[in-house]
Amino acid sequence: MKKKNKQCTRERIINAAGELFAERGFASATVRDICKKAETNVAAVNYHFSSKEHLFEETLKSVIKKQWEKFPPDMDQDKAKTPEEKLKTFISVFFKRKFDCTVPTWFGNLMISETFAFRQTIHQILKKNIEKNRSILGEIVREILGQNAPQQAVSASVMSIIGQIIIFMKTHSEKHCFTSLVEVSPDNIDYYIEHVYRFALGGVMEVKKTRAAAQGGDRRKRCEKSPRKNGEEA
């Protein structure tokens, strides 16, 4: 029973901290205000988190962990039969993770408002998952481009796809001249998953086509430059 109560107190503190960090920013949200909102005392914060900085880290980790457990980077990849299907599944998981209704509403705002100030902390928390995402997408892109595709082409394609996903993600929580053009929501998420998939696949296929044309041209040039053997027609 005591263990359950401690866990409840910890969760209350994290939820209160998330809301206030998102609303006021890390610097302006005080431990006392967090305690008041969580209906607990400063001693409880010190017991569970030891410091305000550690509380901030654990607040991020708690939500990120739940998100990535529910929507892991390799989710449903074993069900996809073709690299094209794998690409669509990968993109779909990104969107579904972002618009998961179980994620607290403050989480997106907190990530955006504090990304610059705590970019290293956030990067460290996400590093393992980011690397796994990059690896999975890299393998998918290489399957489409061909196993002999240069790493530069694979990496550029991965960055282009991720960049496209990120800009659509920002329409939900951040507005500026580009992201205000559309608004992704749970109601239209399927449309944008399909759009990003088609656009991404079209781009990768164009890279593949361009490479094939360039390789064909190189082969012709080599043939033209190679010396002709005696008796060979001009």
CATH 1.10.357 in the chain: give the residue spans. Answer: 71-223
Per-residue pLDDT of the chain (234 residues; tens, 9 = 90+): 455 466 699 999 999 999 999 889 888 999 999 999 999 999 999 999 999 999 998 998 888 888 888 888 788 888 888 999 999 999 999 888 878 877 787 887 777 667 666 767 777 777 877 888 899 999 999 999 999 999 999 999 999 999 999 888 776 555 555 566 788 888 899 999 999 999 999 999 999 999 888 776 656 666 666 655 555 544
> Helices (H) and strands (E) in the chain — how many of each?
9, 0
Instruction: Locate 164 and state its tokens.
Output: 């496209």
Instruction: Locate 41 and state its tokens.
Output: 């005392």
CATH 1.10.10.60 in the chain: give the residue spans. Answer: 1-63
What fold is seen in the domain 1-63? Arc Repressor Mutant, subunit A (1.10.10)
pTM score, two decimals?
Answer: 0.72
- Would you call 160 exposed, middle or buried from its count of C-beta atoms within 10 A (0-12, 13-18, 19+)? middle
Instruction: Please give the pLDDT value at position 4.
Output: 47
- 71-223 has CATH 3.40.50 classification: no
- Report CA-CA distances (Å) from 71 to 137, 156, 180: 15, 25, 27
What three-state secondary structure class fits 76?
A: coil
